[in-house]
């Protein structure tokens, strides 16, 4: 087993699939070609958690997954197969569970306030007068809750239904109204949180409180068990969840590298546009959203953008461009979900300027307007300005770009305030040379950056992506719906850059966070090549379903349903319970007619009724089936093509659980469904016995297993060079790894068929004799006819004979 994984396989752990279940799958993962099991968070989470990102105890392994004994059995099984494990680490936040006593550190802070030994764990604004920590859990305002007698005292505990809170010592016998005001926490109506929350949280989730891992004591306490497992050899590396939420991502990674001896670490980082991972981060790279965008884009035809845009606008009334949808969504997030965070930034600015006579005439209102515009117009998750350091060119350019965009929305009298805020956020000299209140200036720099990420994530991924559906295959985490297609030349340039700068980064096509699985996206990608046929099909389906369409149903929701119906079609429609659950989540995330906090049952029922009627209409489903069947050949090429490219390009490929088969999953929790490993074992055994693949899932399993095994057999090759290979057709993408492995994949197969197939198109192979590990076919060097290479499968994986 090597320290750097050759390939990982993501496993979602929970009560229904624990460490022992993972151990049962190890032999299969080894036969698949995987070197490391990639585990979702393994520390003790809130009881009932199905994802593990809501940690309550860093000193214990997940009891629901089997605890330490079961984990040790998994580690032993992996060691028997010379395999390792990678763990998902959540450094940014902990759970605020129900009851709160499940989180010992939080319970202590609620009881003892700033004097708690855990007070430094949490990023709390206690205020000048030790203001209480806001606990916005009440179903009504506190006055009504008190009047209705919904609060009760039980010894040293205050109860509100399932919620429990510790009592500040000495307050147990006070009258209830006085008692609640004497605590280190303030019980409040849940709607108060967005405006008055005084602890930093994960995005807009009140039940996930940020922790200050920049504090060395907190860092050690929250990572001690993970470090112990790593030094015992039971873990071999980490995936870091959302480092952009930390006060100092680079500093965190430096400490991590020091404490782990430079173990393999990848970070969940969304890179926007041409943004690159900071070169001074000591890590192997990202978790692969950037690779997902480029690989998937190879199979999207840019010529489909204009006609699909026109049809999308006609059907939904949405703008032709995505940008205004993003701007509106980010404004809503800043106004509502991030109001408390914006308020805290404004107060910091006011404090800085109040103490400096040269800056005193800038008002809170001006600061508020400026901060809002900068957050809305900031085009990435973070600028990486480090207090006390000169910001690098990339950070300055990002801040200057946001400033110029913000300038257009601000009145003339606010321009000076805008420039002042920009300079403060870049750590520049502003006001008095003595730089009064340096701590506040540093805090401002950090907090602004910690707020940019939630505005981006909640505004774009969790709102705008659910409003604008030109081609939903592109509405993906780390993706860009306006980046419509990736040419072979663009892909080769990206892969070469990756191989040069981040050769050990992770690559992926599906994750627990993706909006739809790689295979759903592959199906949808073929629509980019035939917008006319797709438009005609949707018009026909709309006519067949006209009687079911409630006037309340908006065009965007309906268009999402048609794309989802086709994207998840597998010899029939998606099961109704899965489709209904997805649609409800999608329309609540869109926040136009309904939302999680203010659900509109009437609108939700109209959407659900429409979906039910569609799924019950045999004539309509027969029409969808005919259209889907006609795409089978094209879907096959995109499905296998993107998988082989991802598995053999530079980086460490990850296979999300179950996706070695065709997996037509949607956003979580749909993508956390149980995987049938027995069926996969049976099919892989059959293929290994010499049987021909039976269907697309078998073909995908063949491609996955043969590519991963080849990586294990020839690790030095995949750690070596990346060379694009010349082809005489733009419908092929081909590259060599080192001097002994070649990948060839078909792209844009619809247009290829229109051209009559490959004809005499060739790919130039390096010198030597080659064998396709997928089919056993042999071929010589030089200009080889693509038709001959891809006569059985739309992809080829060649190795020297």
Q: Quick one: DSSP state of residue 459?
A: I
Q: Rounded to whole angstroms, how far apart are CA atoms 748 and 488?
A: 11
Task: Check if the beta carbon of residue 285 is closer than 8 Å to that of residue 651.
Answer: yes
pLDDT of residue 129: 60
- Encode 763-780: b = buried (16+ Cβ within 10 Å), e = exposed: bebbeeebebbbbebebe
C-alpha separations of 130 from 124, 184, 341, 343 in Å: 10, 8, 19, 18
Q: Rounded to whole angstroms, how far apart are CA atoms 20 and 531?
A: 48
C-alpha separations of 570 from 675, 694, 695, 761, 794 in Å: 17, 15, 12, 33, 20
3-state SS assignment for residue 784: strand
Helix (H) or strand (E) holding 740, with range, is none
Task: Check if the beta carbon of residue 763 is closer than 8 Å to that of residue 786.
Answer: yes
The pair of structure tokens assigned to 563 is 């794309």
Q: What is the pLDDT of residues 582-621, one digit of tens each?
A: 999 999 999 999 999 999 999 999 999 999 999 999 999 9
Helix (H) or strand (E) holding 501, with range, is helix 488-501
3-state SS assignment for residue 665: coil
3-state SS assignment for residue 656: strand
pLDDT of residue 434: 53
Radius of gyration of the CA atoms of the chain, in A: 27
Task: Check if the beta carbon of residue 74 is closer than 8 Å to that of residue 46.
Answer: no
Q: What are the residues whose beta carbons fall under 8 Å from the beta carbon of 561, sequence distance 6 or more?
A: 583, 610, 611, 614
Residues of the chain with pLDDT under 50: 433
Q: What are the residues whose beta carbons fall under 8 Å from the beta carbon of 59, sequence distance 6 or more?
A: 44, 224, 225
Q: Rounded to whole angstroms, how far apart are CA atoms 644 and 653?
A: 10
Q: Rounded to whole angstroms, how far apart are CA atoms 545 and 547?
A: 6
Residues facing residue 516 across a β-bridge: 666
- Please name the residue that has the structure tokens 């199979």: 299
Residues facing residue 666 across a β-bridge: 516
Q: Where are the alpha helices (DSSP H) in 188-301?
A: 193-196, 216-231, 249-260, 289-297
pLDDT of residue 321: 96
Q: How many CB atoms lie within 10 A of CB 745?
A: 29
Q: Cis (ω within 30 of 0) for the bond into 669?
A: yes
Q: How many CB atoms lie within 10 A of CB 724?
A: 16
Q: Rounded to whole angstroms, how far apart are CA atoms 731 and 388?
A: 51
The pair of structure tokens assigned to 251 is 């500093």
One DSSP character per residue, 299-335 reads: TS-GGGHHHHHHHHHHHH---SSSHHHHHHHHHHHHH
The pair of structure tokens assigned to 129 is 């007068």
Query: Domains plus CATH for the chain?
Result: 8-91+214-277 (3.20.20.80), 100-210 (3.30.1590.10), 326-461 (no CATH)
3-state SS assignment for residue 741: strand
Characterize the bridge pairing of strands 778-779 and 770-772.
antiparallel
Q: How many CB atoms lie within 10 A of CB 675?
A: 20
The pair of structure tokens assigned to 221 is 């306490």
pTM of the model: 0.95
Helix (H) or strand (E) holding 189, with range, is strand 185-189
Helix (H) or strand (E) holding 713, with range, is helix 696-713
Q: Rounded to whole angstroms, how far apart are CA atoms 641 and 748?
A: 10
User: How crowded is the C-beta side of 320, counted as CA atoms within 13 Å?
Assistant: 7
Q: How many CB atoms lie within 10 A of CB 526?
A: 28
Q: Quick one: DSSP state of residue 135?
A: E
Q: Helix/strand/coil (H, E, C) string of 685-699?
A: HHHHCCCCCCCHHHH
Q: Rounded to whole angstroms, how far apart are CA atoms 562 and 565?
A: 5
Tell me the backbone φ, ψ of residue 112, rounded to 5 degrees.
-115, 0
The pair of structure tokens assigned to 700 is 């995908």
Residues facing residue 157 across a β-bridge: 154, 166
211: left (phi over 0), alpha (psi -120 to 50) or beta: beta
3-state SS assignment for residue 470: coil
pLDDT of residue 199: 83
Q: 259: burial class by Cβ within 10 Å (0-12, 13-18, 19+)? A: middle
User: How crowded is the C-beta side of 235, counted as CA atoms within 13 Å?
Assistant: 28
**Helices first, then strands: H and E counts in the chain:** 29, 26
């Amino acid at each position: 087993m090597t320290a750097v994984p050759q390939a990982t396989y993501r496993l979602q752990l929970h009560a229904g699939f624990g460490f022992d279940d993972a151990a049962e799958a190890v032999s299969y993962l080894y036969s698949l070609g995987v070197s490391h099991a990639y585990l979702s968070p393994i520390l003790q989470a809130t009881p009932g958690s199905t994802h593990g990102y809501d940690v309550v105890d860093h000193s214990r392994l997940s009891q629901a997954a089997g605890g330490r004994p079961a984990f040790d059995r998994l580690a032993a099984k992996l060691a028997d197969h010379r395999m390792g494990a990678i763990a998902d680490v959540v450094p940014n936040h902990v759970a605020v569970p129900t009851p709160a006593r499940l989180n010992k550190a939080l319970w202590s802070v609620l009881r003892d306030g700033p004097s708690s030994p855990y007070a430094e764990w949490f990023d709390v604004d206690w205020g000048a007068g030790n203001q209480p920590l806001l606990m916005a859990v009440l179903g009504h305002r506190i006055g009504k809750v008190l009047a209705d007698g919904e609060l009760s005292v039980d010894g040293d505990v205050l109860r509100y239904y399932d919620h429990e809170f510790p009592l500040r010592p000495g307050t147990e016998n006070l009258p209830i109204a006085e008692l609640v005001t004497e605590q280190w926490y303030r019980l409040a109506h849940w709607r108060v949180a967005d405006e008055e929350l005084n602890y930093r949280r994960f995005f807009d989730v009140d039940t996930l409180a940020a922790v200050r891992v920049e504090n060395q004591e907190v860092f050690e306490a929250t990572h001690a068990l993970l470090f112990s497992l790593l030094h015992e050899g039971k873990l071999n590396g980490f995936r870091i969840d959302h480092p952009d939420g930390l006060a100092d991502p680079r500093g965190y990674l430096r400490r991590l590298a020091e404490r782990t001896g430079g173990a393999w670490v990848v970070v969940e980082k969304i890179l926007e546009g041409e943004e690159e991972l900071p070169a001074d981060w000591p890590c192997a790279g990202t978790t692969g959203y950037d690779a997902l965008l480029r690989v998937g884009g190879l199979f999207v035809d840019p010529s489909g953008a204009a006609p699909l845009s026109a049809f999308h606008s006609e059907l939904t009334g949405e703008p032709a461009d995505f940008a205004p949808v993003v701007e509106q969504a980010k404004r809503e997030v800043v106004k509502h979900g991030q109001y408390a965070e914006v308020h805290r930034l404004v107060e910091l600015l006011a404090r800085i300027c109040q103490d400096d006579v040269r800056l005193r005439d800038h008002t809170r209102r001006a600061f508020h307007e400026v901060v809002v515009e900068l957050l809305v117009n900031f085009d990435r998750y973070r600028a990486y300005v480090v207090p006390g350091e000169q910001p690098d060119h990339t950070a300055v350019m990002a801040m200057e770009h946001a400033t110029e965009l913000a300038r257009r929305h601000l009145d003339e009298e606010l321009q000076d305030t805008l420039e002042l805020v920009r300079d403060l956020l870049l750590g520049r000299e502003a006001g008095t040379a003595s730089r009064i209140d340096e701590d506040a200036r540093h805090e401002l720099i950090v907090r602004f950056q910690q707020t940019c990420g939630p505005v981006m994530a909640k505004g774009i991924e969790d709102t705008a992506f659910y409003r604008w559906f030109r081609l939903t295959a592109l509405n993906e985490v780390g993706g860009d719906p306006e980046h419509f297609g990736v040419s072979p030349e663009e892909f080769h340039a990206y892969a070469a850059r990756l191989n040069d700068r981040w050769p050990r980064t992770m690559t992926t096509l599906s994750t627990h966070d993706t909006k739809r699985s790689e295979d759903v996206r592959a199906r949808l990608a073929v629509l980019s090549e035939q917008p006319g046929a797709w438009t005609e099909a949707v018009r026909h389906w709309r006519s067949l379903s006209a009687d079911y369409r409630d006037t309340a149903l908006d065009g965007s929701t309906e268009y999402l349903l048609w794309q989802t119906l086709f994207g998840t079609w597998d010899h029939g429609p998606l099961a109704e319970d899965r489709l209904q659950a997805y649609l409800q989540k999608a329309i609540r995330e869109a926040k136009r007619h309904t939302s999680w906090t203010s659900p509109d049952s009437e609108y939700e029922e109209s959407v659900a009724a429409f979906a039910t009627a569609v799924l019950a209409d045999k004539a309509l489903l027969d029409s969808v089936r005919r259209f889907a069947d006609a795409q089978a050949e094209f879907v096959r090429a995109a499905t296998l093509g993107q998988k082989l490219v991802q598995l053999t390009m530079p980086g460490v490929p990850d296979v999300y659980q179950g996706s070695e088969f065709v997996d037509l999953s949607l956003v979580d929790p749909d993508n956390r469904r149980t995987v049938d490993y027995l069926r996969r074992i049976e099919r892989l055994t059959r293929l290994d016995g010499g049987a021909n693949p039976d269907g697309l899932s078998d073909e995908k399993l063949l491609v996955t297993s043969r590519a991963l095994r080849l990586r294990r057999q020839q690790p030095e090759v995949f750690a070596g060079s990346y060379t694009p290979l010349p082809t005489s057709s733009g419908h092929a993408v081909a590259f060599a790894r080192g001097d002994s492995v070649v990948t060839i994949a078909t792209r844009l197969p619809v247009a290829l068929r229109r051209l009559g197939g490959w004809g005499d198109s060739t790919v130039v192979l390096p010198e030597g004799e080659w064998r396709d590990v997928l089919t056993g076919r042999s071929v010589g060097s030089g200009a080889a006819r693509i038709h001959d290479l891809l006569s059985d499968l739309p992809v080829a994986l060649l190795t020297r004979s």
